[in-house]
Amino acid sequence: MEILGTTLRICVDDLETATAFYERLTGGPALRFERGGVSVAAVSCFLLMSGPESELEVLRKVAATIAVEDVDAAHAALTEGGAKVLAGPVPTPVGRNLIAVHPDGSVFEYVDRKAVV
């Protein structure tokens, strides 16, 4: 499985202020969407999230988001290597994802950009 990139996940209280800072820092605009009551702004390699504490508590447990070519291939590689898939693959606004716990206890989200048919 080839890893295409990594996104750093940051939970923030004030999404507008944080988004403006990261847009200035990176020189690029944010891609914004909402999912499960959480407002999200993706700015370059940063994924800013704001919402109810009950939702953010779960999101804080995920160390990073890892971009892959195909979530199904990632699922196979992860389970063959001893990881436990907690959720997914499921569709998202930009592709598909899954959440997995690695054998060392680290939790990661894996995403692809494949459209759901």
What is the domain partition of the chain in residue ranges? 3-112
Q: What is the tens place of the pLDDT at every residue in 3-42?
A: 999 999 999 999 999 999 999 999 999 999 988 899 999 9
Q: Name the CATH superfamily, with its identifier, for domain 3-112.
A: 2,3-Dihydroxybiphenyl 1,2-Dioxygenase, domain 1 (3.10.180.10)
Output 112 or 58, whichever has higher pLDDT: 112
Mean pLDDT of the chain: 93
- What is the share, in percent, of the chain residues with pLDDT greater than 90? 82
Q: What is the DSSP letter of 114?
A: P
**pTM, rounded to two decimals:** 0.82
Given a cut of 80, is residue 66 above it in pLDDT? yes
Distance, CA of 98 to CA of 96 (rounded, Å) = 7
Q: What is the pLDDT of residue 93?
A: 75
Q: Is 95 left (phi over 0), alpha (psi -120 to 50) or beta?
A: left
**Cβ neighbours for 85, distance < 8 A, ≥ 6 positions apart:** 75, 78, 79, 98, 99, 100
Which tokens is 88 given?
């997914």
